[in-house]
């Protein structure tokens, strides 16, 4: 088999990269270890920055997103029993965020790729990358009971944190920056209309809570918990009682309750590898960096990587100019570290840390007060939340 760009992973990064390359006349083949059904129903965060939504729209795959997605012009910070709205659009020159499930983005991209005839080989096993330091890299894999070799010019590692591409980089090539957090998120899906039109981030003495949504009829809510929390210890009644406590305010906020259809605990970490490239192998998305979900940057950061690499590959194939490819890691990491900083800051601002002394807790509360009373501080939050430029 032969293609120009071999892509490992059919998540949002791999699918969008393939689509953008197709629009520029560049061929690709996508290899995915999971089934199509699994990939399309894998629930992940679904908040898109302004430029991420525009990227899908400009690429011709944003029609359903615009019909079904929820545009938000602000968020609410709640602490001390008071709610404080951050007017994102007003503070960022009109930019907004879009609530649209990541699995819905995946469905749209898979449909577009298959309609264009791009091969997506689901259930590809025993995937390995070879000769990335040469001009003739390849990917070996097993599919439909047969062994295959995919020869290509470039390999894009879009296979996530647990994928095979990052470990395939030469030993000693990577610098790893890793930070764990002493808590996780207990997340639920509930069949109930959202209790607020915009996301509510709550800092409470019991711990953090988040009210978000998937659609006008489905709510997504989170509670700070231990990273090894036993989900079985949380009955529906206990979950709703704790959410009622942490999300309450003095203005009569009413949290709507409904049937819980999904529960799970998400551990939290910050992770970056440098560089994001070795020879002809390029890492994108979670293969290169992980952010805590507080700032809603995961998929958006992957889209930034995709936009940078797609532009560099287009220039290389059209003119032979490799400057963009040579600068890929440096360019992508510059934005990645800004997203890491913002996600760390939001996490530190809103969560309860067991190690906090009363002095540190007071500082945290003072920071929340400053952010919600200073236009300059709120503007900084807003411009990061709606998204820095993708490239």
Under the banding of pLDDT at 50, 70 and 90, the label for residue 390 is: confident
Averaged pLDDT for residues 282-286: 97
Q: Is residue 328 annotated as part of the catalytic site, yes or no?
A: no
Instruction: Determine the Cα–Cα distance for residues 31 and 164; give it in Å rounded to an integer.
Output: 12
Report percent pLDDT > 90 for the chain: 93
- Given the residues 222, 317, 328, 385, select the one marked as catalytic: 385
Beta strands 209-215 and 154-157: pairing type? Answer: unpaired
- pLDDT tops 80 at residue 218: yes
Averaged pLDDT for residues 322-328: 98
Q: Is residue 293 annotated as part of the catalytic site, yes or no?
A: yes
- Cα-based distances in Å from 48 to 211, 221, 332: 16, 17, 18
Q: Is residue 72 annotated as part of the catalytic site, yes or no?
A: yes
Averaged pLDDT for residues 223-239: 96
CB 21 within 8 A of CB 169: no
Under the banding of pLDDT at 50, 70 and 90, the label for residue 81 is: very high
- Given the residues 100, 181, 201, 328, select the one marked as catalytic: 201
**pTM for this predicted structure:** 0.95
Burial class (CB in 10 A: 0-12, 13-18, 19+), 244: middle
pLDDT of residue 239: 98
Say which residues have a Cβ less than 8 Å from residue 374's Cβ, sequence separation at least 6: none
pLDDT of residue 98: 97
Under the banding of pLDDT at 50, 70 and 90, the label for residue 380 is: very high
Under the banding of pLDDT at 50, 70 and 90, the label for residue 172 is: confident
Length of the chain: 391
- Given the residues 297, 317, 328, 351, select the one marked as catalytic: 297
Under the banding of pLDDT at 50, 70 and 90, the label for residue 20 is: very high
pLDDT of residue 44: 73
Averaged pLDDT for residues 239-265: 96
| Residue range 183-203, pLDDT digits in tens | 999 999 999 999 999 999 999
- Given the residues 293, 317, 328, 351, select the one marked as catalytic: 293
* Domains present along the chain, CATH in parentheses: 5-71+96-178+269-348 (3.50.50.60), 180-268+350-386 (3.30.9.10)
- pLDDT tops 80 at residue 45: no
Instruction: Determine the Cα–Cα distance for residues 297 and 268; give it in Å rounded to an integer.
Output: 13
Under the banding of pLDDT at 50, 70 and 90, the label for residue 43 is: confident
Burial class (CB in 10 A: 0-12, 13-18, 19+), 145: exposed
| Residue range 9-19, pLDDT digits in tens | 999 999 999 99
Averaged pLDDT for residues 129-136: 96
Beta-strand (E) ranges in the chain?
5-8, 28-31, 47-48, 70-72, 75-79, 82-86, 97-99, 120-121, 125-130, 138-143, 146-151, 154-157, 175-190, 200-203, 209-215, 218-225, 260-274, 277-278, 281-283, 289-290
- Given the residues 50, 72, 95, 351, select the one marked as catalytic: 72
Averaged pLDDT for residues 305-312: 98
Q: Is residue 19 annotated as part of the catalytic site, yes or no?
A: no
Q: Is residue 259 annotated as part of the catalytic site, yes or no?
A: no
| Residue range 334-360, pLDDT digits in tens | 999 999 999 999 999 999 998 778 898
């Amino acid at each position: 088999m032969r293609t120009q760009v071999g892509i490992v992973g059919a998540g949002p990064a791999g699918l969008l990269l393939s689509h953008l390359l197709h629009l520029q006349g560049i061929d690709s083949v996508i290899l995915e270890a999971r089934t199509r059904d699994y990939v399309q129903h894998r629930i992940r965060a679904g908040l898109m920055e302004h430029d991420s939504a525009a990227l899908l729209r400009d690429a011709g795959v944003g029609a359903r997103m615009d019909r079904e997605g929820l545009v938000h012009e602000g968020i609410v910070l709640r602490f001390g029993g008071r709610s404080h709205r951050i007017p994102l659009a007003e503070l960022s020159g009109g930019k907004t965020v879009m609530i649209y499930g990541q699995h819905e983005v995946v469905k749209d991209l898979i449909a577009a790729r298959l309609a264009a005839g791009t091969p997506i080989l689901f259930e590809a096993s025993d995937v390995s990358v070879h000769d990335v330091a040469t001009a003739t890299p390849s990917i070996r894999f097993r599919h439909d009971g047969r062994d295959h070799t995919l020869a290509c010019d470039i390999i894009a590692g879009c296979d996530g944190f647990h994928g095979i591409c990052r470990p395939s980089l030469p030993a000693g090539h990577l610098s790893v920056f890793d930070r764990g957090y002493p808590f996780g998120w207990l997340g639920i899906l509930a069949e109930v209309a959202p209790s607020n039109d915009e996301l509510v981030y709550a800092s409470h003495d019991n711990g953090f809570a988040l009210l978000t949504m998937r659609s006008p009829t489905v709510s997504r809510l989170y509670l700070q918990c231990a990273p090894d929390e036993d989900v079985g210890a949380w009955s529906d009644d206990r979950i709703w009682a704790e959410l009622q406590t942490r999300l309450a305010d003095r203005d009569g906020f009413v949290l709507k309750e409904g049937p819980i259809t999904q529960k799970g605990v998400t551990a939290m970490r910050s992770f970056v590898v440098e560089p994001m490239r070795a020879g002809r192998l390029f890492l994108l998305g979670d293969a290169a960096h992980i952010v805590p979900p507080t700032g809603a940057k995961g998929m958006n950061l992957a889209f930034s990587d995709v936009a940078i690499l797609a532009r560099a590959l287009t220039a290389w194939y059209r003119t032979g100019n490799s400057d963009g490819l040579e600068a890929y890691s440096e360019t992508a990491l510059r934005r990645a570290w800004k997203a890491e900083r913002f996600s760390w800051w939001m996490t530190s601002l809103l969560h309860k840390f067991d190690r906090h002394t009363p002095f540190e807790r007071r500082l945290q509360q003072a920071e929340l007060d400053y952010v919600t009373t200073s236009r300059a501080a709120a503007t900084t939050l807003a411009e990061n939340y709606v998204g820095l430029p993708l490239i």
